């Protein structure tokens, strides 16, 4: 099922549908837009017909200088059976040749009063958001001191209970149980909650609670960039856990690698505080202060007999 159809653009940007109404439900498969200046001039060898076509003042001014036969030919070539739609910006009058060609191929022709550059930007942002690669992960997403922390682990390990304690400590819940993730950029993952469970937490023995109702609007947010993944696992006696923090593990989500920490769970450990400190330490590393590297440098200097620098 298509994520975005031409009708979505008409409704979102309040576009005027001029012709080609039969194609209003055509799918849009790419966030790339095309300004077909070369095509209006007659060069169709590399025409990206699968994109939304945006005609501004430059294209329309040149089109008006063409002969009648050229105008008809260019518009017929512009309207293909795979062209999702054509948008005229700045409220320009739609050429009769375009209306006739669009009706023949059922290509929706729309008009906007916005300037071309601004409309191009708005359309690109909207389509990139809607058409971004997506996935869903079993876990909890929390905004901790501005860091998007996704808590993962097997069912029953204590993810939701830890999230509840973090919310009580003033941090904000984005999603519990299921995190919908979209890759908006090459290295940007944004997570949000499915609409059905937005603002809800499931606590075993207590049931479903509404975090926004209990703790206020400041305890939730709709989405957040994922910067850190913390995996909770039951403590294994014979397993070696990282005690210094020099080695940085990564986990790949869609096409993006995210820093991952593994935190063992056993009675007596305050997971909320540990995760809170992990988020603060992550921020500190991004600011250029790495306590593990400083400690390692001090240790090496001590061993070599050269003394060491203070923190």
How far, in Å, are 27, 106, 263 from residue 235 at the CA level?
A: 49, 62, 9
**Domain boundaries of the chain, sorted by first residue:** 6-131, 134-298
Residue 247 CA to residue 100 CA, distance in Å, equals 65
CB neighbours of 39 closer than 8 A, spacing ≥ 6? 47, 74, 77, 78
Q: Which 3 state secondary structure label does DSSP give 287?
A: coil
Percentage above 90 pLDDT, the chain: 75
Candidates 51, 111, 159, 182; catalytic one: 159
Is residue 303 pLDDT above 90, yes or no?
no
First to last CA, the chain: 56
**pLDDT band, residue 1 (cuts 50/70/90):** very low
Is residue 52 pLDDT above 80, yes or no?
yes
User: 159 catalytic, yes or no?
Assistant: yes
- The mean pLDDT of 167-174, rounded to a whole number, is 95
Residue 229 CA to residue 179 CA, distance in Å, equals 12
Partners of 175 in beta bridges? 141
Please give the annotated binding residues for Mg(2+), written as ranges. 160, 202
Candidates 118, 138, 168, 204; catalytic one: 138
Residue 116 CA to residue 284 CA, distance in Å, equals 42
User: 7 catalytic, yes or no?
Assistant: no
Is 134-298 in the same CATH topology as 6-131?
Answer: no
Is residue 145 pLDDT above 70, yes or no?
yes
Sequence length of the chain is: 311
User: Which of the listed CATH numbers 3.20.20.60, 3.40.50.300, 3.90.550.10, 3.30.70.1450 matches domain 134-298?
Assistant: 3.40.50.300
User: Which of the listed CATH numbers 3.40.50.1220, 3.40.50.2300, 3.40.1390.20, 3.40.50.300 matches domain 6-131?
Assistant: 3.40.1390.20
Residue-wise pLDDT for 67-104, tens only, equals 999 999 999 999 999 999 999 999 999 999 999 999 99
Please give the annotated binding residues for ATP, written as ranges. 153-160
Please give the annotated binding residues, written as ranges. 153-160, 202
User: 171 catalytic, yes or no?
Assistant: no
Confirm if 128 and 4 have CB atoms less than 8 A apart: no
Partners of 263 in beta bridges? 232
Candidates 7, 8, 177, 285; catalytic one: 177
- The mean pLDDT of 134-154, rounded to a whole number, is 94
Candidates 239, 243, 252, 266; catalytic one: 243
User: 138 catalytic, yes or no?
Assistant: yes
């Amino acid at each position: 099922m298509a994520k975005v159809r031409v009708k979505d653009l008409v409704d979102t940007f309040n576009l005027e549908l001029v012709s080609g109404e039969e194609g209003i439900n055509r799918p849009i498969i790419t966030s790339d837009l095309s300004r077909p200046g070369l095509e209006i001039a007659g060069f169709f060898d590399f025409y990206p017909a699968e994109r939304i076509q945006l005609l501004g003042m430059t294209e329309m001014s040149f089109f008006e200088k063409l002969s009648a036969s050229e105008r008809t030919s260019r518009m017929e070539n512009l309207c293909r059976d795979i062209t999702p739609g054509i948008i005229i910006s700045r409220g320009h009058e739609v050429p009769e040749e375009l209306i006739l060609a669009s009706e023949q191929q059922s290509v929706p022709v729309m008009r906007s009063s916005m300037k071309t550059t601004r409309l191009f930007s708005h359309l690109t942002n909207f389509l990139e958001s809607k058409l971004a690669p997506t996935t869903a992960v079993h876990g909890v997403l929390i905004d901790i001191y501005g860091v998007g922390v996704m808590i993962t682990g097997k069912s029953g390990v204590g993810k939701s209970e830890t999230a509840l304690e973090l919310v009580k400590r003033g941090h904000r819940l984005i999603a519990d149980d299921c995190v919908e993730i979209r890759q908006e950029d090459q290295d940007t993952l944004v997570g949000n909650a499915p609409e059905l469970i937005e603002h809800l937490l499931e606590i075993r023995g207590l049931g479903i609670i509404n975090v926004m109702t209990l703790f206020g609007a400041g305890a939730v947010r709709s989405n957040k960039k994922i910067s850190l993944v913390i995996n909770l696992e039951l403590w294994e006696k014979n397993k070696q856990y990282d005690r210094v923090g020099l080695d940085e593990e990564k986990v790949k989500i869609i096409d993006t690698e995210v820093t991952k920490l593994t935190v063992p769970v056993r009675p007596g450990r305050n997971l909320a505080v540990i995760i809170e400190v992990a988020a603060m330490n992550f921020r500190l590393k991004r600011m250029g202060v790495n306590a593990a590297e400083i400690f390692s440098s001090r240790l090496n200097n001590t061993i070599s007999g050269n003394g060491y620098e203070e923190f």
